[in-house]
Amino acid sequence: MTRQKLDAQRIVVKVGTSTLIHSNGKVNLQAIDQLCYTLTGLVNEGKQVVLVSSGAIGVGMGQLGLHARPEAIPAQQALAAIGQSGLMAVYQQRFALYGQRISQILLTHDVLEYPTSRKNALNTFERLLEWGVIPIVNENDTVAVDEMDHYTKFGDNDQLSAIVASIVDADLLIMLSDIDGFFDKNPRKYPDAKLFERITQIDEEILEAAGGKGSKFGTGGMTTKLKAAQKMLENDKMMVLANGADPAIIFDLMKGEARGTLFAKEEK
């Protein structure tokens, strides 16, 4: 089954912790290798790609042999500090196999809220994309608590990916998660759950169908993904939510194969 070919030149790909980390806490090297191969392929086609990557705390947990995400903010920040360097080391190695240059951009919400720092960040993105370099973006968890389990929680990397897509004026946000797309109810509980192939607007019925948190290593749930989709729709852009078990699914999505859920306004 096919749908419209995704005509996108500038693409933000958000990959969740569930794609990068096995349930036992070990790094999923096969998934990361496939992701690096696929994104390099997009760049070789002339696309401009930004990767928003979760996984720092998950990698840190794996390195310390922890099986439960700690609730204390300092512990989460320390795990992020451990895991971020390890995660980037894996990305550096795997992307280098395919001759792709990468960079790291760590952001906090205040950086994107203030005009001067926002402009500086945008200038960095623009130059990197002009050079064919893939920026790998994450929230600076060691100094920010917006994403973590804290009462000042503002968002997570689902939200960050939509914000990044907005400031770089991306045509498409591809969100890879541990689910095949957006369903009318939880497919893990209800075998008769139906996948939405296309959603043109986020209404109350759609919001009510969402709920629950993600894996023990991540923070995102379906509601945060819908909020990201809403932001993309408001900017007249597209988002796809698809299963990231095999990141090469991105090639199928770009060709217009009906995989996952496409969030896009009706074709004119």
Point out the annotated binding site for ATP.
Answer: 14, 177-178, 219-225
Residue pointed to by tokens 């597209």: 238
Nearest to 11 by CA among 171, 168, 158, 136: 171
Asked whether the beta carbons of 25 and 65 are under 8 A apart, the reply is yes
Which H or E element spans position 13? Answer: strand 10-15
Strand 261-263 to 48-53 pairing: unpaired
CA dihedral over 110, 111, 113, 114, signed as positive or negative = positive
In 68-171, the DSSP E strands lie at: 102-107, 134-139
Q: Give the residue ranges of the annotated binding site for substrate.
A: 54, 141, 157
Asked whether the beta carbons of 13 and 253 are under 8 A apart, the reply is no
Q: Give the residue ranges of the annotated binding site.
A: 14, 54, 141, 157, 177-178, 219-225
CB within 8 Å of 242: residues ≥ 6 apart = 174, 175, 176, 177, 180, 181, 249, 253, 259, 260, 261
The count of residues in the chain is 268
CA distances from 149 to 73, 82, 97, 138 (A): 7, 18, 36, 17
- The Cα–Cα gap between 118 and 63 comes to 34
